[in-house]
Chain A
Amino acid sequence: MFDFLIFICYNSVMITQEKLTILTESAKYDVSCSSSGSNRKNTGGIGNGYVSGCCHSFTPDGRCISLLKILLSNDCIYNCKYCPNRLDADVPRATATPDEICELVIDFYKRNYIEGLFLSSAVCKNPDYTMERLLLTVKKLRTEYHFQGYIHLKGIPRADSLLMQEAAKYADRMSYNIELPSEQSLKLLAPQKSKESLLLPMKELTQQKIRFTEEKRKGQYKGHFLPAGQTTQMIIGASPERDGQILRLTQSLYRKMDMKRVYYSSYVPIVRDSLLPDIPAGQLREHRLYQADWLLRFYGFTVEELLTENENLSTEFDPKCAWALKNMHLFPVEINRAPLELLLRVPGIGAKNAHKILTARRYAVLSFEDLAKMRVALKRAKHFITCNGKFFGAKNENAVRGLLAAAETQDSAQQMDLFHLLSTPQNALISLHGQL
């Protein structure tokens, strides 16, 4: 009988299916799901980090499930125009207790369903209260449930900065979403948030991380402080900013705030409002932004090289092709001699293939056939390279343009499939290794 009672008590924190559904539905439009960047070790308890990230399942929309992505509550006092959980919306509301979330994480984790937790929340009652509950949950998870897997925590703007700093000691990664790419748009669509309220906490966390790393180095601090850094996200296509403006913001976030990733989420009209467009932002646009983002981070490009502030990225060509077509005087490059930086700028040659070429050419002078044998994609690249002095591309620029455009249409079905997973670790790998 006594055993039975204990059993009931234990069971009482299992979240109900209904609550789980509401809190998941409300969280699912968030794009970031990456679980990479933490190398937290297991020192007793359950779990550890997986530096390269890990996908545990894929949903029919082609997205990866890595983290349990859930809201603590979807009961919001704010009224962001684009959000299905805003105060005015008529949707079912639910709030989970910290223990319900903790149990859920542990039981999902030990069955290997998930890599960790991505916890966020609507602003429930007030920012401080919400941040306190989030903090309580991650603290419990680490100290009472001894969970050492991945935790990504969303920060609540305008909450007390001490709460934020405390939370950063338990989370692997935190994010404050930029939401919209300009201050005017923010004022219009998310009136209770301001650029300051979003950027300030990011700045503070960046500075504190530097301080903690320093103290750790001197042996004055033992714990963790956001080992996987910060990320942010913005909605594309709900407001009028151009790609040039968006990518300038991105570049400064990478440079000044040390962001690990900037995510773009193409706008989906779930909510109707006279201030919002009725049509979803093109998914091609999101795809192009991610491609340009990769060029900034891994290919040594600056945004100024790619486009002006008032331009949009080309829909016809991927950003690297578009750049190369504007800079034909730099090509063709000799595959057996070009330095890595230049190989990386050849359309169609991705980081992985560039490295493959560097390795293989130490042993032999590479011919066009050798590249094909090594499965380096040549459809685009051949117009921009010579192999041992020989050129296999089209004769003049107009022909190159035509062929590249054709290649793009040919690939577009595949690419449209690809773009959507750019935010997953799996896809991060593919993009890193694949052809950009």
Chain B
Amino acid sequence: MIYFFDGTKSGFLTAFLHAFDDPDALLTSKKAQLTLGQTPVFIQTDESKAARALQRLRSFDCEFEHDLDFLLRSGMENNEQIAFRYVRFLAKIKRPIRNQLAESDVFAAVECMKKIGLEIHHFHGFIRFMETQSGVLYAPFSPDNDICDLLVPHFRARLPQYPFVLHDVKRKTAAVYDGKNYFIAPLDKADVLLSADETEWQALWKKYYNAVNIPSRERLKQMRGFMPVRYWKFMPEKQ
């Protein structure tokens, strides 16, 4: 049976309670996963049930909430199903399971979380800010996973005096830091007026990028392996 929920954490936990005993359960919030011929159950989110489930799961594993948060942020097609199988296994074993890597449900969840951790690390490096006329630094990007807000602490710690905007253009959402506080806001399109020097600095950066390369040792496959092509769109040196 397919259990269709609203994509929220509470929605997931409600669906989890419904699906627990169903050996063929499939949890999803993505319309694309509704295959023809299968009638889904539409799950009505129940906050109080969800809260109780959460409390119980937390008593099995105090870091459970972090894992669930990560799994639901994943951009993988079947991330919610991976989360479901992981949580169901946790509910059966009743103590932390993340080290039981020989279990395929655990392994899949751990790999999924690792991918998110890796993408966060990637974007600590691959984010590209441009300076706007007002001095705000603006960085559009398009991550695989929903990690926009998770990048804020890193940049805030290093650029405390610079207001910045991290704009996930795929999910149309932005993390905004105003020099003191930060908040998340929906953002479809940003009108950006560049500062007077911005293009000049970008040109210098491109010069640097080309000059530091050693052409006789070309290894394009390797470059792409470390810096996936889908990230290039927002990097001036790759334009």
- For the residues of B in contact with A, the DSSP-based class is helix
Q: Please determine whether A61 and B102 come into contact, CB atoms closer than 8 angstroms.
A: no
Indicate whether A54 reaches chain B with its CB closer than 8 angstroms.
Answer: yes
Total contacts A to B, CB within 8 angstroms? 153
Contact with A along B156-182 (1 / 0, CB 8 A): 011111100000000000000000000
Segment among A42-50, A190-198, A217-225, A288-296 that sits at the interface with chain B: A42-50
Q: Tell me, rounded to whole Å, the shortest Cβ–Cβ distance linking A41 to chain B.
A: 8
Chain A positions 399 through 436: 1 when the CB is less than 8 Å from some CB of chain B, otherwise 0:
00000000000000000011011000010000000000
Q: Are B226 and A149 in contact (CB under 8 A)?
A: no
Contacts of B223 in A (CB 8 A): 58-62
- Let me know if A327 is at the binding interface, CB within 8 A: no
Q: How many residues of chain B have a CB within 8 Å of chain A?
A: 51
In the complex, are the beta carbons of B131 and A111 less than 8 A apart? yes
Interface size class of A (residues with CB under 8 A): 35 or more
Query: Do residues B125 and A55 form an inter-chain contact, with CB atoms below 8 A?
Result: yes
Max chain B CB contacts within 10 Å: which of A57, A360, A370, A373?
A: A57
Q: Are A110 and B131 in contact (CB under 8 A)?
A: yes
A42 contacts across to B, CB distance below 8 A: 157-158, 160
User: Are the CB atoms of B205 and A360 closer together than 8 Å?
Assistant: no
Which residues of chain B from 181 to 239 have any CB-CB distance to chain A below 8 Å in the complex? Answer: 196-197, 200-201, 203-205, 207-209, 211-223, 226-227, 235, 237
Tell me whether A111 and B130 are in contact (CB under 8 A). yes
Interface membership of B55, Cβ < 8 A: no
Partner of A360, one of B102, B160, B220: B102
Q: B101 at the A/B interface (Cβ < 8 Å)?
A: yes
Of A7, A356, A420, which contacts B219 at CB under 8 A?
A420
Residues of chain A lying within 8 A (CB to CB) of residue B35:
none
Q: Can you list 21 pairs linking A and B with CB atoms under 8 Å apart? A: A21-B211, A42-B158, A42-B160, A44-B161, A45-B161, A46-B158, A47-B158, A54-B121, A57-B126, A59-B223, A60-B223, A61-B217, A61-B218, A107-B197, A108-B205, A111-B128, A111-B131, A111-B137, A112-B125, A362-B99, A366-B102
Given contacts A25-B211, A61-B218, A62-B221, 20 further A-B contacts (CB under 8 A): A15-B204, A54-B121, A54-B124, A58-B223, A59-B214, A62-B220, A62-B222, A62-B223, A62-B226, A110-B129, A110-B162, A111-B205, A113-B128, A115-B125, A356-B101, A363-B99, A363-B102, A364-B100, A370-B102, A373-B107
List chain B positions with a Cβ less than 8 A from chain A: 99-102, 104, 107, 121, 124-131, 137, 139, 155, 157-162, 196-197, 200-201, 203-205, 207-209, 211-223, 226-227, 235, 237
